[in-house]
Amino acid sequence: MAPVDASNCTLCRVMRGLAFGGMGAAIGGYGAIFFGVDRNEAIYYALFGALVLTAIVERRRRKKTKPHD
Is residue 29 in some structural domain? yes
Is residue 37 in some structural domain? yes
What is the DSSP secondary structure assignment for residue 40, as one 8-state letter?
H
Domain that holds residue 46: 18-60
| Tens-binned pLDDT, residue by residue, of the chain (69 aa) | 667 666 677 888 888 888 888 999 999 999 999 999 998 999 999 999 999 988 888 888 777 766 655
Is residue 65 in some structural domain? no
Return the pLDDT at 42: 92
Is residue 13 in some structural domain? no
Do residues 28 and 56 lie in contact, with contact meaning Cβ atoms separated by under 8 Å?
no
Is residue 9 in some structural domain? no
Torsion on CA atoms 41, 18, 62, 12, rounded to nearest 10: 180
Q: pLDDT of 33-42, one tens digit each?
A: 999 999 899 9
Do residues 46 and 28 lie in contact, with contact meaning Cβ atoms separated by under 8 Å?
yes
pTM recorded for the entire structure: 0.71
Is residue 28 in some structural domain? yes
